[in-house]
Amino acid sequence: MDQDTDSTSEQMDRDNKLSESELDTTSDDNDWCPVTKREQRSTCPIEGCGGKSKHHKHHAWEYHIPRIFWDHPWKGLNNSPDYHKLRASCLDTLSKYILGTGTVQDLVIYVNDKVRLPCKYPIIPRTQHQMGLLTRTMWWSRVEAYEMLPVNSPAILIHWRILLALVGIMTPKNRSDFKSLGREKLLQLEDQVRVHHVPIPVDIEDEWTVIDECGGEDDNYEVVIIQEGYSVPHQDKVKMGSSITLIKGPLNILVDTVNDDVEVIPTPGPTSEDIFVIVKNTQLGTIAVVGDLFHSEEDMEDSSLWRSRSQDPARQEANRHKILRLVDYVVPGHGKIFQTPRK
């Protein structure tokens, strides 16, 4: 999970300033002419701007294009249908800026008929992927490959070169309104993702216990669980929820996925290498994902269910009591999530 803990005001300031870490280094970033193969220090085509940059896309993002259309969203946002619906809604608003009335389909026709794009630049794979997600979310007609000349899908309209060309024909007021388009709703989505979509590694033996027994694949989930016995490259083995993915993976701690709401604590007992993960500020309060520290809710009454499997029963019992004092709910190694008796 992204560890960004900026305040709302700091997040809003990001619309006007790009950090070095956000500068993409792919071929689409540099303004290379596909004909001469030379890097161009281009002047911004927007009247009254006059900015010059070798990284034309970054200039466009910083001064002219709203962040909802930047092509490096948080992973959690990319998995959120609400994010793609917001993008589509902003494209509808863009259509009204340009056409007065009309839909994104009308804007596609207008771009193909009236807008002169610089060259047939390639669309990088990351952007193609985002266009595919937007297309599927909005049930637009799918295409084999997204192309800019001619524009063959409404999803192409999120490309920065097309957006910049459209900004150039807007009124000054519409340019200003466009730059802040979707800002507030995007910040709300980012806050939701930051709190509720936390990828964490855990030790759970039973393959799909947690997601199946918490209500099935169609519900929303707050935790992505990376299970034991599989390596990260085998991410073809996933199970999708409506806004979350359950991924099989290794027991290694993925440090960059842990934020202020997630604490990883060693819990020797079932084995000498076990860990548990505490996730705070969820809709259920504080949740512990504990692997076989708790085999199931039933072992609260029948200790033989966990003692018979434990390598260190004394330490496991101490850690079990510790968990029950700290959290509101426990996700055991087997069986359903259950509420602790501490409250």
Phi-psi region of 283 (alpha: psi -120 to 50; beta: other; left: phi over 0): alpha
Token couple for 102? 């009309």
pLDDT digit string (tens) for 99-151? Answer: 998 899 999 999 999 988 766 678 888 888 899 999 999 999 999 889 888 99
The helix-helix angle for 160-167 and 81-99 (nearest 10°) equals: 30
Beta-strand (E) ranges in 108-261?
198-201, 223-227, 238-240, 245-248
Predicted confidence at residue 44, as pLDDT, reads: 82
pLDDT score of 293 more than 70: yes
Token couple for 164? 């910049």
> What is the Cα–Cα distance from 54 to 44, expressed in whole angstroms?
11
Q: Beta partners for 238?
A: 247
pLDDT digit string (tens) for 202-239? Answer: 433 333 333 333 333 333 333 444 433 333 333 333 33
Neighbours of 189 (CB within 10 A): 21
Question: Is the pTM value of this prediction over 0.75?
Answer: no
